[in-house]
């Protein structure tokens, strides 16, 4: 009979919850997920969706086929040293820690372990994540396929070379926060012009959502869509000119660059 995969999360934080929530919207049942963390602080939201929790990382590893390491990057070494003795050749270990390279992960786990490095982002929570993974030396295509099948409800799932993972971290892992900053600024602009704050924020979020969906679903280049919004001599081109004077494009490019470099730096520690 078909045996469902058992999924474990080490770390009960925002990203573990986002991925777990995305999975639950697919064909993963909560009874097949277990989460561990040292304190009970973040456990309630997992329990509310039927996921069982424990303080024992070893219990998660021993009871899982696929183990997501979802602790902060500086804790990965500590956690892997602790769980290494329980990791077998059958486990798939997936790290979501920013910057932590495959070679570091493989070094801390038993020889020939199946390791995958994944960079997700928070919109996995609403099944609109953008996820990029790269396989370690012993992770075969079939292991990548297992991961894809678990994550397909989290959003867009792509595979690429390891060098792209840090770039994706800047572009998308951190990129969502850049978009939130933009959304906040849009709303504040409207508040400055006299609109009530709650209405301004709700319109700003719908504007970001609508712009994003149209961009993705139309497949058009953003510059094309931008030109479709611009009436010659109209309002949009005046606003765009102001943004160019403020150096928005250069700032956003630099933000992706610095977040990517920071991920590389975290990896070299």
Ligand X SMILES: NC(=O)C1=CN([C@@H]2O[C@H](COP(=O)(O)OP(=O)(O)OC[C@H]3O[C@@H](n4cnc5c(N)ncnc54)[C@H](O)[C@@H]3O)[C@@H](O)[C@H]2O)C=CC1
Ligand Y SMILES: O=C(O)[C@@H]1CCC=N1
Binding site for ligand Y (CB under 6 A): 98, 169, 173-174
Residue where the block lists tokens 């999360």? 9
**CA–CA separation, 9 and 19 (whole Å):** 10
> What's the closest the beta carbon of residue 264 comes to ligand X, in angstroms?
13
**Contact (Cβ atoms closer than 8 angstroms) between residue 5 and residue 146:** yes
**CA–CA separation, 88 and 19 (whole Å):** 23
Q: Which 3 state secondary structure label does DSSP give 249? A: helix
Report CA torsion sign: 239, 245, 246, 250. positive
Quick one: the chain helix, strand, coil %, rounded to 5?
Answer: 60, 15, 30
* Partner from ligand X, ligand Y, none binding residue 19, C-beta < 5-8 Å depending on class: none
Closest-approach residue to ligand X (CB): 13
* Partner from ligand Y, ligand X, none binding residue 70, C-beta < 5-8 Å depending on class: ligand X
Does 83 interact with ligand X (rule: CB under 6 A)? no
> What's the closest the beta carbon of residue 48 comes to ligand X, in angstroms?
15
Q: If binding means CB under 6 A, how many residues of this protein chain bind ligand X?
A: 28
Does 123 interact with ligand X (rule: CB under 6 A)? no
Based on its alpha-carbon atoms, the radius of gyration of the chain, rounded to whole angstroms, reads 21
> What's the closest the beta carbon of residue 256 comes to ligand Y, in angstroms?
12
**CA–CA separation, 159 and 132 (whole Å):** 5
Query: Which one of the spans 94-102, 133-141, 159-167, 179-187 is the region binding ligand X (CB under 6 A)?
Result: 94-102
Residue 70 annotated as binding?
A: yes
Sheet holding 66-69, edge to edge: 52-54, 33-36, 7-10, 66-69, 92-95, 114-119, 129-135, 155-159
Angle, helices 197-218 vs 222-229, to 10°: value is 130
Residue 4 annotated as binding?
A: no
Interface map 145-184 toward ligand X (x if CB under 6 A): ----------------------------x-----------
> What's the closest the beta carbon of residue 156 comes to ligand X, in angstroms?
14
Binding site per annotation, positions for NADPH: 57
Which residues contribute to the annotated binding site for NADP(+)? 10-15, 70-73
- Residues in binding site: 10-15, 57, 70-73
Residues that bind ligand X (CB under 6 A): 10-16, 36-39, 42, 57, 70-73, 75, 78-79, 96-98, 119-122, 173
């Amino acid at each position: 009979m078909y045996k469902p995969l058992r999924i474990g999360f080490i770390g009960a934080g925002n990203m573990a919850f986002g991925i777990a929530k995305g999975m639950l919207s697919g064909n993963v049942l909560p009874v097949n997920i277990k989460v561990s963390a040292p304190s009970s602080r973040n456990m309630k939201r997992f329990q509310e969706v039927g996921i069982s929790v424990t303080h024992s990382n070893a219990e998660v590893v021993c009871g899982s086929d696929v183990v997501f390491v979802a602790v902060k990057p500086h804790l990965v070494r500590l956690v892997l040293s602790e769980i290494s003795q329980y990791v077998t050749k059958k486990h798939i270990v997936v790290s979501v820690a920013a910057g932590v390279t495959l070679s570091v992960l493989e070094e801390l786990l038993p020889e020939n372990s199946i390791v995958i490095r994944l960079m997700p982002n928070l919109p996995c929570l609403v099944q609109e994540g953008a996820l990029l993974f790269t396989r370690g030396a012993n992770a075969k295509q079939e292991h990548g396929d297992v991961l894809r099948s678990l994550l397909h409800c989290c959003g867009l799932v792509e595979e690429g070379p390891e060098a792209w993972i840090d770039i994706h971290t800047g572009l998308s892992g951190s990129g969502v926060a850049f978009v939130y900053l933009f959304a906040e600024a849009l709303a504040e602009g409207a508040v400055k012009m006299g609109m009530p704050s709650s209405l301004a924020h709700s319109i700003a979020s719908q504007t970001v959502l609508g712009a994003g969906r149209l961009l993705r679903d139309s497949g058009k280049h953003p510059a094309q869509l931008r030109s479709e919004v611009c009436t010659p001599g109209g309002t949009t081109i005046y606003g765009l000119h102001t943004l160019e004077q403020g150096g928005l494009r250069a700032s956003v490019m630099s933000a992706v660059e610095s977040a990517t470099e920071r991920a590389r730096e975290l990896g070299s520690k």
